[in-house]
Amino acid sequence: MLLLLAPGHGRVQAAESPEMLLHRWLASQTNLQSFAADFVQTRTLRSLAQPLTTSGRLYFAAPSSFRWELGTPPQTIALRHTNLLWVIYPAQKRAERYDLQNAGSQWRDTFALLEAGFPRSRAELETRYRLGNLFITNGVLEVTLTPRQMAARRLIPELRLGVAPEENRLCYTSLKMADGSQMRQDYTNAVVNPTWNNSPFTWTPPPDYQVVEPLQRRSPRL
């Protein structure tokens, strides 16, 4: 899913270290209530000579509601509101329903990866991840994260966030999978704190959809 914008070009003061920029970005996250952006997902697989690219759309609302649409029109939709998560396949008229409250820590830790780009504080970020390298490229701060929970780390050993602190904007997320493949999402047309007439986080399965509730022993599909 887990829980993913084009690199920003905001100016970064030369006197500020990467650590200072990270602190400033995390402090500004308390003002982020909602977020929407287009993205281009690039998947690099060992079995393919060329990466696969797909466009999509991301919506987020604090503290943990999100809607992640991959493809135009959407081929896959991951939709979370409170403790209910849907993974929807419109073309197949099929949906998977996950009750995260009763799903066990393995599932909750795995699906929390989809929210990695929206920490509410440094304490929250460090509760879920170990912070690694910090460096700045073209005004974008890149943060390397390692999931603390073994279940999440077995699926995704490493995440990278690209943020533009001057613009309080998430630029990209990059996930390294356990099989060596990589998935990066570059965001464009980002809007911080948009308002919606109709919530993008509510969904009711149409009558002709097949709804299944996968067993916990199955690995979640992102």
Residue 161 CB neighbours (<10 A): 24
**Structure-block tokens of residue 67:** 């809607």
Confidence of residue 117 (pLDDT cuts 50, 70, 90): confident
Beta strands at 210-212 and 182-192: parallel, antiparallel or unpaired: unpaired
Phi/psi for 92 (5° steps) reads -90, -5
Confidence of residue 3 (pLDDT cuts 50, 70, 90): very low
What b/e readout covers 179-202, taking b as 16+ CB neighbours within 10 angstroms? eeebbbbbbeebebeeeeeeebbe
Strands 94-99 and 210-212: parallel
Helices (H), 3-121: 18-28, 105-111
pLDDT score for 48:
83
Rounded distance, CA 25 to CA 12, Å? 12
pLDDT tens-digit map of 124-179: 899 999 999 999 988 899 999 999 988 888 888 999 999 987 777 899 999 998 88
Look at residue 55 in the predicted model and tell me its pLDDT: 97
| Coil/strand/helix, residue 149 | coil
The full set of domains in the chain, from first to last, is 18-212 (2.50.20.10)
| Distance (Å, whole) CA 188 – CA 37 | 6
Q: For 72-87, write each residue's pLDDT tens digit.
A: 999 999 999 888 889 9
Q: Pull the structure tokens for residue 47.
A: 């079995």
pLDDT tens per residue across span 175-220: 998 888 999 999 999 998 998 989 999 999 999 999 999 855 554 5
Is the pLDDT confidence value at 106 over 70? no
Closest CA to 60 of 32, 34, 25: 34
Query: In DSSP terms, which residues pair with 130 in a beta bridge?
Result: 146
> Binning pLDDT at 50, 70 and 90, where does residue 56 land?
very high
Length of the chain: 222
